Amino acid sequence: DSSGYNRSQLLHCVNIVMAVIKRCKWPDDIEVAKKGGFYCEGSQTCHSAYCRNAATPYVVSLLPIMAQLLRTYNHFWSPEMLARVHPAFAPALDIHDSEKNSILGVRADGEASDSLGSKQPIDRAKSFMCTFQDYCLQVLGNAGQSLGPEYYQTPGLSDMLVNGVLAGLEQLPDYRLRPILRVFLRPFVQRCPAELQPTVVLPLLKPVLPFVFQKLNAKWEKFRLKYANCVDYETEMTEEQELLDDQLNRLLSREYLDVLAAVLLTKRGQPDASLDSMNEDQEGKQVDSSAATISAFGATVLKTEELCSPVVMSVFNALHWSDTAASFKALQLSMPLLKLMFEHGFVRDEGSAAYLLRCVLMGLQVLGEHDINQTLLVSLGLALYQSARPLFPGLCTTLLQIPGCTPEALEAFETQLHPPGDGKALPEKKKKEIFKRLISPIIGKNIGQQFKAAIQIMNLPPMFRPQRMAVEEDAVTCADLPNLFGQE
């Protein structure tokens, strides 16, 4: 393994940069920070006050090299590079065992923690491919918390990251695309100052969001057809590969929706994660969809022509992906997104409104057996229909396609929603119940309930209960035991 020394030196250098980012910080006391020259009142690009980090000039000077290394790393999976890899070293590009165990929820055995010296060269190369990407993405994604706004004010930062970290996304496997979303993009968006997001974050989203949506949507459609038909599915891959592919797709979908939440929703006092836990997989806190609002940057993203359709379609298509967690995350985004779309007139034609309503109905068909998802999807469907029906009268044809939904039942439903004259409007809970009854034929059920016969209990007569035997008076009036047992 003649290249082992070079790989170890690369990891050593990246580790030093990551250690500097973790350990270097400005004084906690604001007065001490002002006296030491750490405090800055603001700049032309960042108007709010912030503290400088003494390590920023040194770390920023190394960022172009790190971005170029990641660009080279991503091109390892290009067809030209794969053709040059020796067949004996091809497994070095596969998923690492630690990643596989983490995805499958398998506890690693003791043999996996052996020292590097006992591993074969192919195992050390595979470990390097996993660790190197993770360390580099941690540096670029978490540098904003330690270096502050000066990191985001680096000249040409967005172009450098697009041409480096995001180069060759279409050729990366899912297990290498996932760290880019989870380790780099999400914390990078969360820690960017609001005034710098349109100039720094927006250029990064343009190549990522449309690509990931198309990739995930196509893969979920492939899974749907395979699970529905089961034609030659078991012969394509082993059971472990099938399970790994399924779980990896689910995790990638959830983490992509976490990125969308960081982009679209307003931050409500959410504390930044500690740099001491940079190596940990931090799950985002659940946000109440009724209280969530679209941020100013989220509105800017939706007004961007290249991003509006991919973002909206990502959220509403995820409602019917066969994953309850991904659908729930999409539901948290869909309600505030729906309000903004109708307030700003983003839904411009009847076809778009019908498409959104079909996504909600498909979500009820796929995931309606789960109570939480069903409740939120019914609320979303009712809100969507109430908002779009006055603008697009032909939207009712979408509901008429539901089996059992007749024009008379739909007319009665709309009459109850909007009583004529001075009729009293129904409470929201009653509206949801009526809407749920209207679309009940398509709401999915658990497989154990699908073909269950209705139980009918007839009015049965009361069961016969024998009366107690009355105690004779002679037995009660006996004065003493001798008389009780005496002979007459």
Considering only residues 466 and 166, tell me which one the structure prediction assigns the higher pLDDT.
166
Q: Does 116 fall in a domain?
A: no
247 and 384, same domain (yes or no): no
**Alpha-carbon gap, residue 400 to 409, rounded angstroms:** 9
What mean pLDDT is reported for the chain? 84
Average pLDDT over residues 186-204: 93
163 and 16, same domain (yes or no): yes
Considering only residues 341 and 1, tell me which one the structure prediction assigns the higher pLDDT.
341
Query: Nearest CA to 222 among 368, 327, 321?
Result: 321
pLDDT at 279: 39
Where b means 16+ CB within 10 Å and e means fewer, 377-396 reads bbbbbbbbbebbbeebeebb
- Phi and psi at 265, nearest 5°, equal -90, 150
Q: Does 277 fall in a domain?
A: no
Runs of H (alpha helix) within 85-120: 97-104
**Alpha-carbon gap, residue 223 to 366, rounded angstroms:** 13
Q: Which residue has the tokens 């409007």?
A: 425
pLDDT at 273: 36
The string of pLDDT tens digits covering residues 220-241 is 999 888 877 655 555 567 888 8
Range of the domain at 18: 1-106+121-193
Domain count, the chain: 3
Q: CB-side exposure of 356: number of CA atoms within 13 Å?
A: 31
Name the token pair of 426. Answer: 């129904």
Q: Is the pLDDT of residue 168 over 50?
A: yes
The string of pLDDT tens digits covering residues 362-378 is 999 999 999 999 999 99
**Alpha-carbon gap, residue 194 to 173, rounded angstroms:** 32
pLDDT at 478: 54
Q: Does 475 fall in a domain?
A: no
Report yes or no: 21 and 146 within 8 Å, Cβ to Cβ: yes
Q: Does 337 fall in a domain?
A: no
Last residue of a domain, one of 193, 223, 257: 193
Last residue of a domain, one of 193, 228, 255: 193
257 and 217, same domain (yes or no): yes
118-132, 199-213, 225-239, 468-482, range with greatest mean pLDDT: 199-213
E strands in 47-117 = 50-51
The string of pLDDT tens digits covering residues 255-299 is 999 999 999 998 764 434 333 334 334 344 444 555 689 999 999
Tell me the CA distances in angstroms from 215 to 103, 162, 218, 405, 412, one per residue in order: 19, 19, 5, 35, 42
Q: Is the pLDDT of residue 468 over 80?
A: no
Q: Find residue 51's DSSP bridge partners.
A: 39
3-state class (DSSP) for residue 134: helix
304 and 178, same domain (yes or no): no
pLDDT at 367: 92
**Alpha-carbon gap, residue 257 to 253, rounded angstroms:** 6
Q: Is the pLDDT of residue 109 over 80?
A: no
pLDDT at 340: 94
Q: What is the DSSP string of 151-202?
A: HHTSTTHHHHHHHHTTTTGGGS-HHHHHHIIIIIIHHHHHTS-GGGHHHHTH
Query: Nearest CA to 257 among 313, 302, 195, 188?
Result: 313
Band the pLDDT of 148: cuts 50, 70, 90. confident
What is this structure's pTM? 0.85
How many CB atoms lie under 10 A from the CB of residue 185? 29
**Alpha-carbon gap, residue 158 to 181, rounded angstroms:** 16
pLDDT at 107: 78
Average pLDDT over residues 242-252: 94
243 and 181, same domain (yes or no): no
Band the pLDDT of 89: cuts 50, 70, 90. confident
Report yes or no: 319 and 331 within 8 Å, Cβ to Cβ: yes
Contacts of 23 (CB under 8 A, 6+ apart): none
Q: Does 244 fall in a domain?
A: yes
Report yes or no: 364 and 444 within 8 Å, Cβ to Cβ: yes
Average pLDDT over residues 427-438: 90
pLDDT at 280: 39
Q: Is the pLDDT of residue 26 over 70?
A: yes
Name the token pair of 228. Answer: 């529905």
130 and 8, same domain (yes or no): yes
pLDDT at 453: 74
86 and 142, same domain (yes or no): yes
pLDDT at 278: 40
Q: Is the pLDDT of residue 331 over 90?
A: yes
Q: Is the pLDDT of residue 54 over 70?
A: yes
Q: Is the pLDDT of residue 448 over 50?
A: yes
pLDDT at 418: 77
Considering only residues 208 and 235, tell me which one the structure prediction assigns the higher pLDDT.
208
18 and 100, same domain (yes or no): yes
173 and 25, same domain (yes or no): yes
359 and 245, same domain (yes or no): no
159 and 99, same domain (yes or no): yes
3-state class (DSSP) for residue 40: strand
Last residue of a domain, one of 193, 219, 254: 193
Burial of 364 (0-12, 13-18, 19+ CB in 10 A): buried
Q: Does 274 fall in a domain?
A: no
Band the pLDDT of 313: cuts 50, 70, 90. very high
Q: Does 482 fall in a domain?
A: no
188 and 217, same domain (yes or no): no
**Alpha-carbon gap, residue 229 to 217, rounded angstroms:** 18
Q: Does 359 fall in a domain?
A: yes
